[in-house]
Structure 1
Amino acid sequence: MRNYFNLDDQQMARPGPHLSRVLLLFVAVLAALILFGVLAEDVAEGDSIFFDQPVLFWLRGFSSEPLDQLMRAVTWLGSAAVIIPLLLLAAWRLQWQRWPVIYLATANLGVLLLNLAAKHGFERMRPAFWAPLVPVSSYSFPSGHAMQSMALACSLLVVAAGLRQKWAWRLLAAAYVVAVGTSRMYLGVHYPSDVLAGWCASFCWCAGLAYATRRMRMNHQNGSFSLRQRM
């Protein structure tokens, strides 16, 4: 299956769709980095973020028992119980190709470690406007579910670039990420800024790691080719 790691530098730099996507990705990563930095600075200084409370109370206005149950189910979709089997299924579908599988594992395990480090670094307390609808025990910033769902979506899109109907899969991935993030806010366990920061951090991590992994694959391939020539 064709994926991001099959593209060489000439293909990436060629005028046209590939170059346009690279430039767009660069702008998106830069914007995400800036937004994460702004949110992280406010959280580190203990400042309130203007949209946190209004968004939470707006979502609270839709509260009902059926919606509570639905949101609990949606938030479960961003848990390890769902993410790990999906990653294993993707690796099997990719026939355990070395570089795509390395990327999948590193992207999703790495984002988990980054989240743990960030939570203990910022030590932001959870929202306390009402009793949370699911049990939580860790810090709030950034949202682990938001980071994990974004990492899953991004890493799968990277390794499955050869799929047909790309826009349909991208829309499905976006809907999944937004749904999980929204469920965390609705359930009262995260501020909107926690979710937004989690999305930004995870997106930047996956994008940077994809580039680094591709460079490693190309260097490894070139090194192997040079060795065969000497022999």
Structure 2
Amino acid sequence: MRPPLRSSLSHLRPAALLRLLLGILLPLILVGIVGEDVLEHQRYAFETPLMLWLHAHSTPLLDQIAVVLATVGGATVIAPLSAVLAYLLYRRSFIASRFFVVAVLGAALLNGIMKLTFHRARPELWPRLLPETGASFPSGHSMYSAAFVTALILLAWPTRYRWVSLGLGAAFTLLVGWSRVDLGVHFPTDVLAGWLSGAAWALGVYSVLRPTRLLLPQGTV
């Protein structure tokens, strides 16, 4: 006989419970709410004014930075980089490498499924600097970068590099998301859903696979 849900949750450590509630369940609920509106072809009133404001205050330099971030945060860079990191992790810990591969590759596959499901058209507010095809929701760049960064932060958390990975990773993910809106290829809710979905997926995989074996010797933690 399966134990009741309340009993199961009571045995979770505070960190695991917080990860479940705030890192997985809440983001998925928010993505579901936005996704339902997307399926019903509803628009959020703040999105177009915000995008037009960002575009009006953009500069050629900012546009070029956005193009670079869009390249670095895309699958053409993250995929081979992830393969290299997975190999390096494998040499230290199979458990960690397996987690990283499932977190990043799974996020990419999930993004493709979500795009086919929601099939949201991309914004057409001004001529784009980068040609983009396919559906808009959720942002693939935002989802890839969020899953990639979240996986690295989780692996680095038991070490002395936790705060460095958190700060740099969060900044990178935020900038990649900004670049997609600045370039006019995604609505802000596309980016938000990508961030939440990517992070929740990586956290969910972490909770299931439990890659607890440290990558560094015990004395370095």
Q: TM-score range by the shorter chain?
A: 0.7 to 0.9
Q: Is structure 2 residue 207 aligned with structure 1 residue 211? A: yes
**Aligned in 2, Cα 1:167/1:160: closer, same or farther, shift over 3 Å?**
closer
Letter in 1 for 2:112: L
- How far is the alpha carbon of 1:92 from its aligned partner? 4.2
- How far is the alpha carbon of 1:191 from its aligned partner? 0.1
Letter in 1 for 2:21: V
Deviates more, 1:128-137 or 1:54-63: 54-63
Q: Tell me the number of residue pairs that the alignment of Structure 1 and Structure 2 aligns.
A: 201
Unpaired stretches in structure 1, ≥5 consecutive residues: 1-12, 219-231
Moved over 3 A (4+): none
* Residues 86-134 of structure 1: CA deviation (Å, up to 9, x unaligned): 3234334432521111111111111111111111111110001111221
Letter in 1 for 2:15: R
Partner of 1:60: 55
Partner of 2:21: 27
Letter in 2 for 1:24: L
Q: Is structure 2 residue 105 aligned with structure 1 residue 117? A: no
Question: Which protein has the larger Cα radius of gyration, Structure 1 or Structure 2?
Answer: 1
Q: Is structure 2 residue 142 aligned with structure 1 residue 146? A: yes
User: In 1, Cα distance between the equivalents of 2:114 and 2:107?
Assistant: 10
How high is the TM-score relative to the length of structure 2? Answer: 0.84
Aligned with 1:131 (options 127, 135, 142) = 127
Q: Is structure 2 residue 110 aligned with structure 1 residue 105? A: no
Secondary structure, in 3 states, of the residue corresponding to 1:137? coil
User: In 2, Cα distance between the equivalents of 1:85 and 1:160?
Assistant: 20
* Residues 50-106 of structure 1: CA deviation (Å, up to 9, x unaligned): 221122112112222111111101111112232134323433443252111111111
Partner of 2:191: 195
* Residues 145-181 of structure 1: CA deviation (Å, up to 9, x unaligned): 0100001001111222333142121011100100000
Contact 2:142–2:176 (CA under 8 A) maintained in structure 1: yes
Aligned with 2:83 (options 82, 88, 94) = 88
Contact 2:120–2:135 (CA under 8 A) maintained in structure 1: yes
Secondary structure, in 3 states, of the residue corresponding to 2:173? helix
Partner of 2:182: 186
CA RMSD of aligned residues (A): 2.0
